[in-house]
Structure 1
Amino acid sequence: MQTSHSSTEAKYNQLRDLSLEVAQNNLPQGLKDLVDLKKIDLRAISQARRWEYSLSRSDDADWSWENGFRSYAYRHPKRFELAIWYAKAELCGLSIGKPTYSGAKLRLDVIEGAPWNHPLKRKVVELSVAAAEVYGDSIGAEQIRIMRPVNNQVIKYYQEFGFTLFNGKQSNTPTYLWRNL
């Protein structure tokens, strides 16, 4: 008998909550009181809507949080999701991903920071990966993958965090960076 979508969503929602709690507790002392790691909610989507119209947003960023997140979330009940807040008021980053079919790898499909200067500039990837590692560990994943990096500058940045590039063929295997847990 197949598990229903709603029970799968409920089970993984609980894992998301617990993982974000652990990731929050693991934050460095200087960030613990200033940063909140939360699930993506309507407030986060509302603030991210402004990103899409910002002239500061990279031309390579073509994901619409407002239009894409709900359907992504529904299609992937085992997903990883993260909203990074500063001082409970400023949305600084969003990330989503999902386990591979086997569950051995956790893909991060989108990692995006607010397109303007904010207090967590150059920390969004670090915080996203840290939270993804906790979630990946909770679901039994052995590897984190950052899918489809948008350009060479971003690839080099991800490599600073110990990720290794895999150059895929866009027709059947996408390019990604990986790091074992």
Structure 2
Amino acid sequence: MFNFKEISENDLELVLKWRTSEHVTKFMNTDIQNSIENQKKWFKAYLKNDEYKFWIINYDNKRIGSIYLDEKDMSWGFYIGEKKYTLLGPMVLPYFYNYIFLDRYKDLEYIDAEVFKNNKAVIKIHNKHGYEKLNNEYKVIKSDKEIVLCKYRLFKSSWLALEKKYKRFRADFP
């Protein structure tokens, strides 16, 4: 159903389209310019950064979104760029958590995620997957408005408690 591939230069225009679309960018910490030149600069920097991983999410051989991991602080994020597939978002995440906790970082105790306080859908997903809300909130300025950002943490033990339900969700993350 899902598979993941490392981003390539061939994906840059599509990722830029997703990242600047209203349904994605309204929940991102930063806004970016709609500039393929800047996207190419970002990609060159990405290729030099061994601590940052960025994958394209494929569903039935269609590119539908992206997921990334910053190994420096073990934070991550994702978005479904193709609007008609947004309801698949919750189904993508168990593949990622199994990769993180069972395949790639077996000694890792937790991963963190940041979510806008008004992003009720993702907060609901995180709660379903065993996340705990941390007590630190902070504000970011986006489109000249203050938005509250909340930090969530998924402990490996909480994820493993759900193992029976999600153990079949396995995929390679090259």
Q: 1:128 aligns with which of 83, 96, 105?
A: 96
1:77 lines up with 2:64 in the alignment: no
* Correspondence for 1:27: none
1:44 lines up with 2:44 in the alignment: no
Unaligned runs of 5+ in 2: 33-37, 140-148, 157-174
Q: 1:165 aligns with which of 128, 133, 140?
A: 133
Unaligned runs of 5+ in 1: 1-30
- What is the CA-CA distance between 1:168 and the residue it aligns to? 1.4
* Correspondence for 2:161: none
Runs of 4+ more than 4 Å apart: none
What do residues 99-146 of structure 1 show as CA deviations (whole Å, max 9, x unaligned)?
Answer: 346xxxx221x2111241128723233333333333333xx4221211
TM-score (norm: length of structure 1)? 0.59
Aligned length: 137
Q: 1:63-142 counterparts in 2 under 5 A?
A: 64=32, 66=39, 69-70=42-43, 73=46, 76-88=49-61, 90-100=62-72, 106-108=74-76, 110-118=77-85, 121-122=88-89, 123-133=91-101, 134-137=103-106, 140-142=107-109
Conserved 8 A contact 2:117-2:150: no
**Kindly tell me: are residues 71 and 143 of structure 1, through their superposed partners in 2, closer, same or farther at Cα, counting changes over 3 Å?**
farther
- What is the CA-CA distance between 1:166 and the residue it aligns to? 0.7
TM-score (norm: length of structure 2)? 0.61
Q: 1:54 aligns with which of 12, 21, 40?
A: 21
| Alpha-carbon separation, structure 2, partners of 1:132 and 1:80 | 12
The answer to which of 90-99 and 66-75 deviates more is: 66-75
| Alpha-carbon separation, structure 2, partners of 1:84 and 1:63 | 21
Partner SS for 1:127:
helix
Give RMSD over aligned pairs. Answer: 3.2
| Alpha-carbon separation, structure 1, partners of 2:87 and 2:13 | 19
Q: Percent same amino acid among aligned pairs?
A: 12
- What is the CA-CA distance between 1:161 and the residue it aligns to? 0.7
Partner SS for 2:75:
strand
